[in-house]
Structure 1
């Protein structure tokens, strides 16, 4: 799981563990304790070592960073494995994936009400936890973009909407 500490990655890690997978989390070293607490079996600090240089024969790589660098994980994959860049824009390596017998999918998904209902119990009982990196009021929405641009996010960035006088939800 590349980008395991971020808003998408920390959910993907927990879902994989919930489903019984062995998970190697990739993030900067400051996130190691957080990711192990979420269930990571192994941890790679990408600032010290390139994960694709030390991990071999994996069945699945979920790359929550995505983009043009996702193809670097192809050499870590088993034939018959799958590489899923979460953000597929600019993803390259389709031909190499085919040659290596690896499925590479940049398909975007859309959540459905039924899927969200299925996951509600594990959110309610904290099997899957939501980590909050930071919160900003709607009036400071520009700060959300600034925080996201800084990177190294641990969990989700939350934008809060305060009830205004005369407003009812």
Structure 2
């Protein structure tokens, strides 16, 4: 949408799914180490995060940013030396952004993939689904 070149990293079972969502390149982390293949990127969105997240710092160019969903430990001296930033994102309500997102969804520019849907009363089953991992999209709870 904004002209970004997107590199998706996942196991091979997710390649077709991520390509269909618009990834320009796919790296199967079970066969290759993405941090050895990718350099000079502007942004890393790390949807796994945690202790291994720091390995992606060296894929960023100076001035680049990494956004781990689940923060790990990052060495402030290392990030300063590399000239990169690490930030976590918080969801904030913004009417203008939500309206723009609605337009993008209506136009099909942005798509939401749904892995599975559960009634609110079955929230436990939804958590169990999440715990099994390898989710392709969002888990949705419906309210009657």
Question: Is the pair's TM-score, using the shorter chain for normalization, greater than 0.5?
Answer: yes
Q: Residue 136 of structure 2 is aligned with which of 132, 151, 154?
A: 154
Give distance in 2, aligned partners of 1:143 and 1:92.
34
Q: RCO higher in 1 or 2 (8 Å CA, sep ≥ 6)?
A: 1
Structure 2: gaps of 5 or more residues: none
How far has the Cα of 1:86 moved from its partner? 2.4
Distance change (3 Å), C-alpha of 1:97 and 1:59: same
Residue aligning to 1:112: 94
**Rounded Cα–Cα distance in structure 1 between residues aligned with 2:91 and 2:73:** 16
* Offset, 1:56: 1.4
**Contact 1:56–1:75, Cα closer than 8 Å, also in 2:** yes
Residue in 2 that maps onto 1:133:
115
Which 4+ residue blocks in structure 1 deviate beyond 6 angstroms?
Answer: none
- What runs of 5+ residues in structure 1 fail to find an aligned partner? 1-17, 163-169
Q: Distance in 2 between matches of 1:148 and 1:95?
A: 35
1:31-42 matches, cutoff 5 A: 31-42=14-25
**2:69 match:** 86
The answer as to 2:135 corresponding to 1:124 is: no
Rounded Cα–Cα distance in structure 1 between residues aligned with 2:51 and 2:94: 28
Q: Which residue in 1 is equivalent to 2:2? A: 19
Q: How many residues align?
A: 144
Instruction: Determine which of 49, 59, 73 is the counterpart of 1:76.
Output: 59
Distance 1:95 1:142 in 2: 42
Deviation, 1:51, is 1.0
Deviations 1:21-40 (A, max 9, x none): 00101111111111111111
The equivalent residue for 2:79 is 97
Tell me, in whole angstroms, the C-alpha distance in 2 between the residues paired with 1:57 and 1:82: 11
Contact 1:94 1:104 in 2 (8 A): no
Structure 1 window deviating more from structure 2 (152-161 vs 91-100): it is 91-100
For residues 110 and 121 of structure 1, what CA distance do their matches in structure 2 show?
19
- TM-score of the superposition, structure 1-length normalised? 0.79
